[in-house]
C-alpha cells in the first residue's frame, strides 16, 4: 500500500513540475583561449600631417583613412561580435604615442597601422608589411625614419618619447628591442597580409620586414605597419586613390585577419 502511494506521489510531481531534467554533462571541449575580441585600426598620418604626396596630389593621410574605414566595415560584416576601434575616423592629426595608447586602453588583441610608401625612384612599386624590430637594411631604416619624423610636429615630443631623435640611427636600434613578446604573432599576421597582396591580387610584395616604428613601439599586443604601395608611383597612386584599389587593399587585410583569427583561436 505504501509503495503504491509513493508511486502515485512521484507521478503527481511529474505532472505538476514536468520531467526532471538531467544534470548537464561536462563537455570535452574546453573554452577557447586567445580569442580575438578587439582590433585597433590605425590610419597613418592625417590632418596637418598629410604624409607622402602622389604626383597627382593624392595625400597619404586621406588615402589611409579611406582604406581603414573600408577595412573596418569588412571586419564588422564578417565578425559582428568583433570590437573595432579606430585611432581616427576623420582627417585629423593624432600623435603617435596616443595611437598606441588608444589600442592599449581598449585592450586590443591586434593593432593594424596602414600607410603608403614613398621613394625618390618614382618607378618603385609594391607592398611590404613591417613588425617592430631591428632594421636589416638602410631601406628599412629610411622608411622608419620617414614615418617617425611626424613627431617633430607634436608638442614636447622629446619628453613624450623619452628623448627619441627620429634622425638618429642609434635611437632606432635601441627602440627596436621593444615588442619582442609579440614578435611571433606579429610576423604571422604580417606574412598573411603579404600573401594576400601577392597571391590574391597579384601585387608585387617585398614581404615582411622589421624596423623601429614609434606608432607600434608602445602597443601591448601583436602589431604591424602595412605599407600598401608607393604613392609616389603614378600608377600605384591611381590604384590606391581609387575605390577599387582601396577595397582590394582592405579585402586583402581582412582576409589575412580571418586566417590569423582562425589560427590563433584553434
Task: Say which CATH superfamily domain 35-264 falls into.
Answer: Zn-dependent exopeptidases (3.40.630.40)
Task: Report the relative pairing of strands 223-230 and 127-132 from DSSP bridges.
Answer: antiparallel
The confidence band for 85, taking pLDDT boundaries of 50, 70 and 90, is very high
Select from 49, 180, 54, 40 the least CA-distant residue to 112. 40
pLDDT at 247: 98
- Whether 236 shows a pLDDT value over 70: the answer reads yes
| Residue scoring higher pLDDT (13 or 233) | 233
pLDDT at 106: 96
- Whether 169 shows a pLDDT value over 70: the answer reads no
**160 alpha carbon, distance to own chain's centre:** 23
**What residue segments make up the domains of the chain, in order of their start?**
35-264
The confidence band for 149, taking pLDDT boundaries of 50, 70 and 90, is low
Integer Cα distance of 211 and 18 in angstroms: 67
pLDDT tens for residues 89-147? Answer: 999 999 988 999 999 999 999 999 999 999 999 999 999 999 987 544 455 456 555 56
Amino acid at each position: 500500500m505504501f509503495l503504491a502511494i509513493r508511486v502515485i506521489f512521484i507521478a503527481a510531481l511529474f505532472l505538476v513540475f514536468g520531467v526532471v531534467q538531467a544534470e548537464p554533462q561536462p563537455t570535452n571541449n574546453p573554452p577557447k583561449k586567445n580569442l580575438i575580441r578587439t582590433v585597433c585600426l590605425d590610419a597613418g598620418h592625417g590632418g596637418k600631417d598629410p604624409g607622402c604626396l602622389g604626383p597627382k596630389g593624392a595625400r597619404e593621410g586621406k588615402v589611409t583613412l579611406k582604406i581603414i574605414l573600408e577595412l573596418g566595415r569588412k571586419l564588422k560584416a564578417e565578425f559582428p561580435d568583433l570590437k573595432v576601434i579606430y585611432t581616427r575616423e576623420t582627417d585629423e592629426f593624432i600623435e603617435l604615442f596616443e595611437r598606441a595608447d588608444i589600442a592599449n586602453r581598449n585592450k586590443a588583441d591586434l593593432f593594424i597601422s596602414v600607410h603608403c610608401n614613398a621613394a625618390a625612384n618614382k618607378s618603385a612599386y609594391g607592398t611590404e608589411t613591417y613588425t617592430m624590430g631591428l632594421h636589416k637594411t638602410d631601406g628599412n631604416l629610411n622608411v622608419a625614419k620617414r614615418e617617425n619624423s611626424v613627431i617633430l610636429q607634436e608638442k614636447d615630443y622629446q619628453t613624450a618619447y623619452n628623448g627619441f631623435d627620429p634622425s638618429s640611427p642609434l635611437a632606432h636600434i635601441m627602440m627596436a628591442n621593444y615588442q619582442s613578446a609579440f614578435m611571433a604573432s606579429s610576423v604571422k599576421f604580417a606574412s598573411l597580409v603579404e600573401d594576400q597582396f601577392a597571391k590574391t591580387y597579384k601585387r608585387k610584395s617585398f614581404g615582411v620586414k622589421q624596423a623601429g616604428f614609434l606608432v607600434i613601439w608602445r602597443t601591448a599586443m601583436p602589431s604591424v605597419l602595412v605599407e600598401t604601395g608607393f604613392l609616389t608611383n603614378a600608377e600605384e597612386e591611381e590604384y590606391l586613390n581609387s575605390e577599387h584599389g582601396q577595397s582590394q587593399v582592405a579585402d586583402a587585410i581582412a582576409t589575412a585577419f580571418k586566417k590569423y583569427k582562425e589560427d590563433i583561436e584553434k
